[in-house]
Amino acid sequence: MKFDKPVIGGPCWTELGTSDLEGAKRFYTDLFGWRPETDPRPEAGGYTMAHVGDAAVAALSPLYQESQPVAWNVSFAVADADDAVRRVEEAGGTVILGPMDVFDVGRFAVTRDPAGAAFQLWQARAFPGAGLFNAPGTLGWVELATRDTDRARDFYTTVFGWSVNSSQWYTQWGIDGEDFGGMADMGDRFPPEVPPHWLPYFAADDVDATAAVAQQAGGAVVLPPTSVPDGPRISVLRDPQGAAFGVYAAGQEG
């Protein structure tokens, strides 16, 4: 990711909805050295901020609805959540939740693109988003997996005004050419029941060691550590509750 703080249109936060909050705290603390802090207010519903040093870098929360999958969710910063929701709907997307206020920290909505990939919109007030990017244990890349790359390109450039850097093999998203994420064609690499989705990638000092720790802590390796041609070393992992996420070698941002 070529910026080091939240910017309008870019990924600003990622949070895990999990069926086992305490288990998730243990797993990600073992994996990334996170320091989790759970909001004690009953109305916060167990929402837990994960920190690297003093910086909030991600969140863990219980599942709030029966239909909610165990998964990582990616939030994009917007200047006006209500206006962004309007753009999502006009471009063919749908609204799952909101827009709604979250205490005094911001206003958010949960939406889906036309192919069904869920993502969140965040209008910052007291809380702008992650306080650190690209460092070990923090968000450094986001990737859309979809079966309709042409429609996704039209949708996201319409909603967010992203720049697009495409090759024969991969599409990268950016803001004024500063890339922060990418898009992969799911093709036949995923079972038909796996829906389009956004995947966060966290930086790691050592991708191979991180994959090994994930397995030892009860997780699984979906994509073994791999060196991407002209790109970083990466791996895709799954936590013990089934949520997928990626890791990449810190210092090899796109």
Instruction: Write out pLDDT tens, residues 154-196.
Output: 999 999 999 999 887 899 999 998 999 999 999 888 888 999 9
The tally of domains found in the chain comes to: 2
Examine the fold and report which residue of 74, 97, 124 is the final residue of a domain before the chain moves on.
124
Convert 12-38 to b/e letters by CB count within 10 Å (16 or more is b).
bbbbbbbebbeebbebbeebbebebeb
Same-domain status, 163 and 201: yes
The CA–CA distances, whole Å, from 161 to 87, 157, 221 equal: 11, 4, 34
Same-domain status, 23 and 98: yes
Same-domain status, 186 and 83: no
Report whether pLDDT(202) > 80.
yes
Same-domain status, 105 and 144: no
Which two structure tokens, joined as six digits, stand for 29?
Answer: 């603390």
Residue 133 in domain: no
Residue 3 in domain: no
**CATH assignment of the domain containing 22:** 3.10.180.10
Render pLDDT for 53-94 as a digit per residue (tens, 0 to 9).
999 999 999 998 878 899 999 999 999 999 999 999 999 999
Same-domain status, 145 and 67: no
Q: Which residue has the tokens 């029966």?
A: 66
Report whether pLDDT(30) > 80.
yes
Same-domain status, 183 and 238: yes
Q: Which domain holds residue 148?
A: 139-249
Examine the fold and report which residue of 124, 147, 174 is the final residue of a domain before the chain moves on.
124
- Percent above pLDDT 90 for the chain: 86
Report whether pLDDT(254) > 80.
no
Residue 227 in domain: yes
Nearest residue to 182 via CA among 192, 173, 169: 173
Q: What is the pTM of this model?
A: 0.96
Examine the fold and report which residue of 65, 100, 124 is the final residue of a domain before the chain moves on.
124
Render pLDDT for 101-140 as a digit per residue (tens, 0 to 9).
999 999 999 999 999 999 999 999 999 999 999 999 999 9
Classify residue 164 as left (phi > 0), alpha (psi -120 to 50) or beta. beta
Residue 35 in domain: yes
Residue 146 in domain: yes
